[in-house]
């Protein structure tokens, strides 16, 4: 059962990536693009219709809205386009993460935090 749920979650993750890619494909109708962008944004957004801290109901929207939205978008996108974007999503998931890219992002955050700290220190030090 756990393996089945894990495969289902991986399929959902792959399809979210695939429909977010398909949203920019010129072969996809405009209404499918609009719905694909909305579903991908909702699936990837930290903001939910029902907050997750509400027991049971908080997770229910994620378990119903996202899969139903994905199913609807997948049916609106032409099959050959969806196959192509699913394959690209699988390749993207298999690719190793770049350590240099991760280091660059971490360095930018450290520089941003240092600049914000310096700004705050100067702003509050001048008041005393």
31 and 79 belong to one structural domain: yes
Do residue 10 and residue 60 come from a single domain? yes
Residues 8 and 34 in one domain: yes
> How confident is the model over 16-50, as pLDDT tens digits?
888 888 889 999 999 999 998 888 788 777 777 77
The rounded mean pLDDT for the chain is 85
Is the model more confident about 115 or about 128?
115
- The pLDDT value recorded for residue 82 is 92
Residue 97 DSSP label: P
Instruction: Tell me: do 8 and 39 sit in the same domain.
Output: yes
d(C-alpha 74, C-alpha 82), whole Å: 7
pTM for this predicted structure:
0.61
Q: How many domains does the chain have?
A: 2
Interatomic CA distance for residues 73 and 19, integer angstroms = 7
């Amino acid at each position: 059962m756990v393996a089945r749920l894990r495969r289902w979650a991986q399929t959902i993750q792959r399809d979210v990536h695939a429909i977010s890619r398909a949203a920019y494909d010129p072969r996809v109708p405009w209404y499918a693009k609009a719905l694909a962008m909305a579903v991908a944004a909702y699936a990837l957004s930290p903001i939910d219709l029902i907050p997750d801290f509400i027991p049971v109901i908080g997770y229910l929207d994620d378990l119903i809205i996202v899969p139903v939205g994905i199913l609807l978008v997948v049916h609106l996108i032409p099959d050959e386009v969806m196959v192509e974007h699913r394959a690209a999503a699988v390749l993207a998931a298999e690719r190793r993460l770049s350590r240099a890219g991760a280091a660059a992002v971490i360095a930018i955050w450290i520089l941003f935090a240092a600049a914000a700290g310096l700004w705050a220190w100067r702003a509050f030090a001048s008041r005393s």
